[in-house]
Structure 1
């Protein structure tokens, strides 16, 4: 392990190496030097579920079982259980049905509801719960209702089956997107998630907001910055969220603090050793080609990281608890990461030495999601689809297109599998949850369940019901339960609007540091009106012995405008390690505020129309462009490998003739940029109107160290008309030759 990996103490490294050796038995074919023998001529055509499962290699102690396959499910991408263990499956039935993505944006996708009626672990009943959807990407079961969001829209609807036939018959709008224009971002760059977290907020990726559900409507809470991420959003037992970004080739990011406090990553939270992936199959269909491949033609690092989850069940080995699982569908593998906490700083380490937890020699194995199930096992969603990249990256002239066509990957459509990971020596639970019918008192009992799925859903249902008759039982649990049960009980009381200040003050004195941290987090809702009594109680914790409690204290007070809050934060920064997570987070936040103020002053000097262009462009950039270019325009640090896209900060091309930039945004860009090759093409954005293009460029050219003029919509219009017949991406060589 390289010295570059920070924060791992000798004890942690030693314990991890012992752990790795104890489970990493040689189950894969190897040569005399110990290297895994790769399958260099894998079968290209789709395999039956029975044959496909034989190609999936799992580390010793585990095996996979088939839960559902085609025709029961087709192109599955996300799953979620309701309280009675009925499994909802979101299908992208129009996704890349050929190499051109024909009919991709037709409303022909579905959400299925699957049931295991005999308890054998296999789904045997399927119903189309909702039909005629446009690429549904987010699902969240509430009580009998299912929240759904489709692609190209931030609207969220609630669906319900009121007559019990398994099909939704009511549809209600629970969140209306205030944007007046449709979301035209590439579907790979749009939001996902809709995760009900421990703090009773519902989180998504990309956009700078989260939601609270008031029983009938989702109430959006604006966040200071967007959380980043793309497809997939994980949460652990204590409400920590984990994002990933395929566009940025970053398997995990923004997990040091809750995203409501700002976007924050640390150097070496992952490193180049973690970034490297270890397929057992050659990988011809990777965008970027040779730079993304080893000499043996295997994928050399994460490029399609997605569908991550923290394992939180109780029917797999205990050492898997709390580990992060990350899907890599281009590499046909799933990473298992050990989550290392060193004084509040989180880092990730591969659980195996140059191997993966799960990997397949089947070219069509496309794991895109992982979820802990009600039976305590881990579930894997395999899209089992030939093409995994969206059409912007498979156009004529792209690297991918001939690879896909020559291998016949465009012919594999209308399939999909769901597996569950099972321990060899532990039988999954056959207890079928009936939480939708459970009494509130029974739900309180489930807050102590060893499987996080049960705890989460019991809390969610209690918050939705707001049955005050169980408040005494909840408070008793908050005082005398195990730490995790106490934490859930406190958040449940808070979500029911039933937690009193005296109870909060008791929790702030809890003997367990994680419970104290939870109480400090909850206190944020109590100081909205600058409650002096609560602030005084929080002040006592400025010298708490636990660094994570102190860190949460600084975060809780971050947006409080009182002098008391500022004094506490200043004390925390001044009296503890300047390299602590607390100090680094606060420094990053203050730098961000300074940059925003500088941008604000610069905008004040602009004309009104220019100012509006820049402001609109800032929103677009942070939602779309930052994924690959970085929120500060300085590029993405993806663990030591090449950046996925060129930096834009202090960029001579950005500050130069705007016509070059307009052409790039209208028609895209491929090939080397100033002598450097990047893995992805810059997709064309010309389907957006002239003002959209002008706004993005105006923001980029006037911020991030750039000092050029704004771009007018009429300039975009002129360039668009001059190049109306163009259908291919530009190259920098062409652009540099143009007059």
Structure 2
């Protein structure tokens, strides 16, 4: 079956008439395009199908979730007959469940141009779908009016004709996309049917669960409503956060905490009481200190029941300052850690935290990092993380997070270590680890909600603003990833746990298998084109998970008709939806293996110390964590001998050992003997955690230092890496030698390099010498770059003793290894030129250093100006000229910044000048050259000039003198001047620059481009010239800003509007930040990552600059996009038409 001449075709699959009339469909149509399209996210009918390849199965569902159809088609060969099997399943309260299958034999399917429905004579789901119906074909008789599909009202499950709504939902994105009258004033009620909920008694039938597992309902309304987070206490009672004020009631304090109890031990909850109420937007919970710790931004609260009546009378505020600026980005996921602290996610909105234990301390600022509260010390500290909603630890205490569109991330190391080395700009601790990408495909069973389809269409056509993700697909990929949890389906197994992640918008639960790779993991999809759990019910909203005392996976189902940020819903759609629909509903599910048997309920709250210590060896993670927490909270000194005895026991297990160490430290009973014993444990994770706990010993003995240093030779990479972090707290020759061994062995691993570098201080020349004398390190690009970085840190520290040691060693080495010596010179030459000891280095390296520099510069001068050389060779030569003295540099590069030179050559010359430093002469030269530059080069030069206050003042003086005009700066640059951190700059800017006006008139002017026929090739050239610095399309450009591929489905007007007015709608991810440096520079970019010691900004061309916090004077949001205003200066109306033609092209 091929689509040769038509862009869109419809395949007709007839279904035999012996099916019951109320289930019959005369013809079942699947629309084809030139590319495969999803049908309810299962399978696809491609336009070209090889012989013997099955087409399907395809699955369709009626909106009431009671009826579904599975269409399977197989062809025996390219010219033979086709077998089509249509299986209809119906589930109704009155008739029960029926399952009918119809095998069909017919000639090869023929493409036709029509779509038909069973019920008839011109009645159909909507005009936009009805216009495609072939009225010339025979139909069944007309159905009674009462049984026709009714739009704009809640669908009655008993009346809805099976599959008719499924056809509406599947065809609506295509047929309705041709609707010519979409406007913001149009009434869309006909396209936005309300979907009825499934009652709890019928809900289990809506699930498809992976083989070997079953799902059970353990609580539902009215026992619980709007659950968003849960935690079990030591007796198995479930405390539930009810976020009843989601999403538009921030001031009504409707949130509650419920306590559910299983009265008879059958695994299902029988009674429910309200433990606390009057909370605003509660989001997180953890049982602690005889009550519950609750996140209710801005506060972290401890709620306790003082008199035992089941109601929390006491509310103690632990901390305050969590942001409430985004209802879907607030603090969440409170978890007990192996470090006996309570960890939480600060989410995307962050926090400015003040603890009640120390209210006068400066606020703890959290951006892109999480937090940990020490309930013993009462302190809160920042931790690595930076997810949105969902955070969990595995059995070894390693941390995983997720975000809406990045569904699995791993925190490779704890960034608290980085503060020791302020000269080190470290890589981001948290990385994405999903093998199929951050926003991977998902395979839903539920139909796509009508409002998603309509919203995508309105955004794609520019009727309403908003981001169009997934290339214009309304669903089928992670858009609402949430609740990452580490689940062990068989707690007795040593296999790594699965990473469980929900997609709340797709009504499913996804799972990934984790594989250890170096110091990180890779998560790989387990289910092939299906999911661990998927429901046909669009009300199923899995928002979080919990691991229970029974080792089961508990799924927290908020059960809402709509879960979406209110600001993301255009008013023409929102007014037809009820965002409170489901506030009176909620479910909690339990997923267990098929062989699961209900265990006895736990009774740990009042258990004796002996029982709690025994529970530390339980294979089920809930028992170990809960027993550890209860032991620590009791503060009963009689527990210490029990803990020590178990540590000394011959049958102690690795998992038990981790919790014993945690409890012993909390009791202050973790002595050197236990730590040294742990450092030689057979299990690598026990050795790793023993290293972490050794850091708590204030004055380690020589024996402990030797034991720590010995782990530098550990067979496990994760132990050696932790040793490198831990050794940073020890200043001794043995520690330096151990770091050197790790550096040589593990230089290829980024986290190991980070650990070593974070630990270097005085005496780091031992490590550098070790690297320089290792050919395996010195001869690799990674090794050379690392050596150069470490040498630069020595220079930055400026310690006289270190410098003397390094210089003496370099002098000896230069006489013995000329080839490596020359390689080192090349690295040293890349250091900033303002190091006072450059002359001393040259002397130490011998006369060859000066000779080589002179030879290099002479050769570079010749190649840079030689137009017979390739552009690439000339650019390399210009980069080498950065080593020249300033007079030579200026005389040469001034002659290359001229219109007759290639733009790449001019750009390289400008970059070389900007990289040289902020001398007045360089600034004056660049300002003089500005009028000769093309718009793109002028912007590049101006960006560099505005980075330094000295040059910025020179720019303003040129404006005052008339040498430059305000039009030489784009609006975003003008705004930077007006908001500059330097008062002199602000005053000059206020006097010289008028505020830019609104851009609506420009948009009206450029709307003419929408009516012109653009040229795709010219548009591509415009894209390369103007847009490729920050956007990537068809393999060209840099991925800095949002993907432009989505505009192919979003529409021409939306594209034009965003180019002319980039600040009209800004995703917070792409807001620019301005960093003021202590050296006077101004660096602007999007925040790409933060650690304890640094902030990384992403700039145009995909460049990143990592700024040490010690060099920061100020960092603040500009409130505007990194994409500049003023592109109309570089794009005419005709060029806009060309650009639209290129970006909207399917080729």
Same fold (TM over 0.5): yes
> Compared with structure 1, are the counterparts of its residues 55 and 157 closer, same or farther at alpha carbon in structure 2 (3 Å cutoff)?
same
Residues 6-25 of structure 1 show CA distances to partners (whole Å, capped at 9, x for unaligned) of: xxxxxxxxxxxxxxxxxxxx
Question: Are positions 1:53 and 2:448 aligned together?
Answer: no
Whole-Å separation in 2 of the counterparts to 1:282 and 1:733: 40
TM-aligned CA distance change 1:604 to 1:83, over 3 Å: farther
Task: Give the Cα–Cα distance (whole angstroms) in 2 for the partners of residues 325 and 124 of structure 1.
Answer: 27
CA distance in 2, matches of 1:306, 1:370: 9
* Cα shift at 1:550: 0.7
Query: Which of residues 42, 65, 81 in structure 1 aligns to 2:63?
Result: 42
2:475 pairs, out of 295, 299, 310, with: 299
CA gap of 1:233–1:209, structure 2 versus 1, over 3 A, is closer
Aligned 1:7-26 pairs, distance under 5 A: none
Residue of structure 1 aligned with 2:312, choices 168, 177, 180:
168
2:1067 matches 1:682: yes
2:1097 matches 1:704: yes
What is the CA deviation profile of residues 229-285 of structure 1, one whole-angstrom value per residue up to 9, with x for unaligned ones?
Answer: 111111111101111111xx1111133334545742457653339822221234345
SS in 2 for 1:187: coil
Relative distance call for 1:55 and 1:321 in structure 2 (3 A) is farther
Q: What whole-Å deviation, never above 9, does each CA across 1:25-61 have from its counterpart, x for those lacking one?
A: xxx9999837453335433221111222211111111
More displaced 10-residue stretch of structure 1: 337-346 or 586-595: 586-595
| Partner deviation per Cα, 1:644-666 (whole Å, 9 max, x = no partner) | 98279xxxxxxxxxxxxxxxxxx
- The structure 2 residue matched to 1:255, chosen from 411, 416, 431, is 411
Q: Matches of 1:589 and 1:395 in 2, distance apart? A: 52
2:769 alignment counterpart: none
CA offset digits 1:672-730 (Å, max 9, x no partner): 7549999x9536999xxxxx9999xx8746983769999999x99xx9xxxxxxxxx99
The reply on whether 1:456 has 2:625 as its aligned counterpart is yes
Provide the C-alpha distance between the structure 2 equivalents of 1:733 and 1:508, rounded to a whole number of angstroms: 55
SS at match of 1:460: helix
Match of residue 505 from structure 1 = 676
Quote the offset at 1:128 in angstroms.
1.0
Alpha carbons of structure 1 residues 159 and 63: separation in structure 2 relative to 1, 3 Å: same
Larger Rg: 2
Give the alignment partner of residue 486 of structure 1, picking from 637, 640, 657.
Answer: 657
State the secondary structure of the residue aligned to 1:148: strand
CA contact (8 A) 1:673 1:732 kept: no
State the shift of 1:418 in Å. Answer: 0.3
* Structure 2 Cα separation of the partners of residues 603 and 447 of structure 1: 58
Alpha-carbon distance change, 439 to 581 in structure 1, aligned in 2, over 3 angstroms: same
Specify whether residues 540 and 176 from structure 1 end up closer, same or farther in structure 2 by C-alpha distance, changes over 3 A only. Answer: same
Cα separation, 2, equivalents of 1:466 and 1:496: 7
CA shift at 1:448, angstroms?
Answer: 0.8
How far has the Cα of 1:314 moved from its partner? 5.2
Instruction: Determine whether 1:33 maps to 2:198.
Output: no
Cα deviations by residue, 1:596-628 (Å, 9 ceiling, x for unpaired)? 999xx999999999389xxxxxxxxxxxxxxxx
Runs (5+) with no aligned partner, structure 2? 1-41, 46-52, 65-194, 347-365, 419-427, 461-467, 761-785, 798-831, 833-917, 919-946, 954-978, 984-1028, 1044-1053, 1077-1081, 1087-1095, 1106-1111, 1130-1147
Report the Cα distance in structure 2 between the residues aligned to 1:412 and 1:356, rounded to whole angstroms.
25
Contact 2:263 2:269 in 1 (8 A): yes
Change (3 A) 1:711 1:301: same
Q: CA deviation at 1:65?
A: 1.0
The answer to whether the 8 Å contact 2:221/2:586 transfers is yes
Counterpart position of 1:384: 559
SS in 1 for 2:312: coil
Q: How does 1:160-559 map to 2 (within 5 A)?
A: 160-173=304-317, 175-177=318-320, 183-206=323-346, 207=366, 208=369, 210-215=371-376, 218-223=378-383, 226-246=384-404, 249-258=405-414, 260-261=416-417, 263-265=428-430, 270-272=435-437, 275-284=440-449, 292=469, 299-312=475-488, 322-396=497-571, 402=573, 411-429=581-599, 431-479=600-648, 480=650, 481-526=652-697, 533-558=703-728
Distance 2:628 2:948 in 1: 46
Flag the 1:50–1:603 CA change in 2: closer, same or farther, 3 A: farther
Distance 1:487 1:410, change over 3 A: closer
CA contact (8 A) 2:389 2:482 kept: yes
Query: Retained in 2: the 8 A contact 1:203–1:210?
Result: yes
**Contact 1:74–1:414 (Cα < 8 Å) also in 2:** yes
Q: 2:675 aligns to what SS in structure 1?
A: helix
C-alpha distance after superposition, 1:270-301 (max 9, x if no partner): 33398222212343455867764589x67332
Tell me whether 77-86 or 117-126 shows the greater mean CA deviation: 117-126
What is the alpha-carbon root mean square deviation over aligned residues?
4.7
In 2: Cα distance, 1:559 partner to 1:189 partner: 36
Q: 1:494 to 1:41 in 2, by over 3 A?
A: same
Q: Deviations over 1:115-147 (max 9, x none)?
A: 111112111111111110011112111142211
Structure 1 unmatched runs, 5+: 1-27, 613-633, 649-668, 687-691, 720-728
Compared CA separation, residues 74 and 268, structure 1 to 2 (3 A)? closer
Find the counterpart in structure 2 of residue 13 from structure 1.
none
1:338 to partner: Cα distance: 0.5
User: Paired residue for 2:268, among 110, 122, 132?
Assistant: 122
Partner of 1:110: 256
Higher mean C-alpha deviation, range 233-242 or range 602-611:
602-611
Residue 303 (structure 2) aligns with: 159
Deviation at 1:578, TM superposition (A): 1.0
Q: Which residue of 2 aligns with 1:9?
A: none
Residue aligned with 2:628, SS: helix
What is the CA–CA distance in structure 2 between the aligned matches of 1:394 and 1:311, rounded to whole Å?
34
**1: distance between equivalents of 2:685 and 2:311?**
42
Question: Could you say which structure has the greater relative contact order, defined with CA pairs below 8 angstroms and 6 or more residues apart?
Answer: 1
Q: Distance in 1 between matches of 2:682 and 2:592?
A: 36
Deviations 1:299-323 (A, max 9, x none): 33212111111114657x9598611
1:420 counterpart SS class: strand
> 1:361 and 1:294 mapped to 2: Cα distance?
24
Counterparts of 2:478 and 2:496, CA distance in 1: 23
Q: Any conservation in 1 of the 2:479–2:505 contact (CA below 8 Å)?
A: yes
TM-score of the two chains, using structure 1 as the length reference: 0.73
Separation (CA, whole Å) in 1 of partners of 2:275 and 2:608: 26
Whether the 8 Å contact between 2:1075 and 2:1084 is mirrored in structure 1 is no
Moved more, 36-45 or 259-268: 259-268
Secondary structure in structure 2 of the residue aligned to 1:704: strand
**Other-structure match for 2:283:** 137
The answer to which of 46-55 and 278-287 deviates more is: 278-287
Judging changes above 3 Å, is the alpha-carbon distance between structure 1 residues 644 and 160 closer, same or farther for their aligned structure 2 residues? Answer: farther
Seen in structure 2, the aligned counterparts of structure 1 residues 58 and 29 have a Cα distance that, compared at 3 Å, is: farther
